[in-house]
Amino acid sequence: MQTFSIAFAFSFLITLMVIRYSSVHAHITADWDLNGVQKFHARPVPRVGGLGIVLALAAAGVVAFFRDSKGVGVPLALLLGSAAPAFMAGFIEDLTKRVSPRERLLATMISAIVAAYLLDARIVRIDVSFLDMALAIPLISGIITVLAVAGVANAINIIDGFNGLASMVAMMMFVSLAYVAFQVGDPLIVTVSFAMIGAILGFFIWNFPAGHIFLGDGGAYFIGFMLAECGIMLVLRNPHVSAWYPVLMLIYPIFETLFSIYRRRVLKGVPAGYPDGVHLHTLIYQRLMRWAVGSKDERHILRRNSMTSPYLWFLSLLAVLPATLFWNNRIILLIFIGLFMVLYVRLYWKIVRFRSPRWMIVKK
């Protein structure tokens, strides 16, 4: 709990300072684009919330390094160092708006390579015998690992569209990681998970529901990288943990990304990275919240923004909860992965065709 408390305190205070003095740096840090297809705020807001999260984790890492009673200080420091390229690429984009998605993805791949080198954090099994034989080849294992880490980091960035959405989903996932790591006796993952929960919570208080600050690309890529690496290392270090546990835990952002690629490339014939306004969270906002809450003034826009996120929290929980309960049962995990994908597609098509389930409709 010490790492949680330290990370929370640092994140809370740093984020507060960023907000308090936003008038000084708003010309650099604020998101002034209010009209993009994925923009749902009414006023310029700082989008550097990831800074407080990274510094908070670093503070918790310093304490863990000097205490180091369980040998977690050094690997935590190496993990934080590995995350630097992914975070910096996103953070520079937050400040300059000049780092392309391809460059951010490349930086995250570099982070994954560094983590594989420093911590041997690689995907070496997926609990399917003939595929595990292929993963025994270092080159194949390395390629799959790099693609998986970059994909998860990008997936967290994709779902970062509304106040509290990505941050709450990530906190639920880190709680799950902490629980499973505790069950198998992995102090490194427990420490990192609690530190990340505290760091994200310190940001979340200022982000939801008031929207005083945004996570930004730096924060989203950093959180995604840490989730991916913690999942990989937990499976790598603990044979009793099914390789499908982190897949189910992360299935909401992963499937959101894969479905978006399918929708763009196959249905629309545009590049996979082409921005659009028909993600599931966007549809919930446009076809449920927009008509449920008031006018176009700033107060109502903010309320609609914040009311969108709980729907997706619940959707993610439908995957995170069974992943946490059945972390060592491959068959049940695979069943829930299939059920989630069916549920997602069914829900998406109902909303896109203006046939939203009654339980999702908010009445005025």
- Residue 68 annotated in ligand binding: no
What residue ranges do the domains of the chain occupy?
2-360
Answer for the pair 297, 43: CB distance below 8 angstroms, yes or no.
no
Answer for the pair 324, 249: CB distance below 8 angstroms, yes or no.
yes
Q: What is the average pLDDT across 274-285? A: 77
The pLDDT, as a whole number, for residue 69 is 64
The pLDDT, as a whole number, for residue 351 is 85
- Residue 329 annotated in ligand binding: no
Q: What is the average pLDDT across 261-269? A: 78
Q: What is the average pLDDT across 124-147? A: 94
Q: pLDDT above 90 covers what percent of the chain?
A: 67
Identify the bridge partners of residue 30 per DSSP, sorted by sequence position.
46
Higher pLDDT, 43 or 15: 15
What tens digit of pLDDT does each residue of 89-122 get? 999 999 998 999 899 999 999 999 999 999 999 9
Answer for the pair 17, 56: CB distance below 8 angstroms, yes or no.
no
Q: What is the average pLDDT across 19-28? A: 85
HEC assignment per residue over 315-352: HHHHHHHHHHHCCCCHHHHHHHHHHHHHHHHHHHHHHH
The pLDDT, as a whole number, for residue 251 is 97
Answer for the pair 247, 82: CB distance below 8 angstroms, yes or no.
no
CA distances, 219 to each of 114, 216, 238, 295, 358 (Å): 19, 5, 28, 31, 35
The percent helix, strand, coil of the chain (3-state, each to 5) is 75, 0, 25
The pLDDT, as a whole number, for residue 164 is 92
Q: Which token pair is 303?
A: 């309320």
- For 239, phi and psi rounded to 5 degrees? -60, -25
C-alpha closest to that of 251 among 184, 181, 172, 329: 172
pLDDT tier for residue 356 given thresholds of 50, 70 and 90: low
Q: What is the pTM of this model?
A: 0.91
Higher pLDDT, 203 or 268: 203
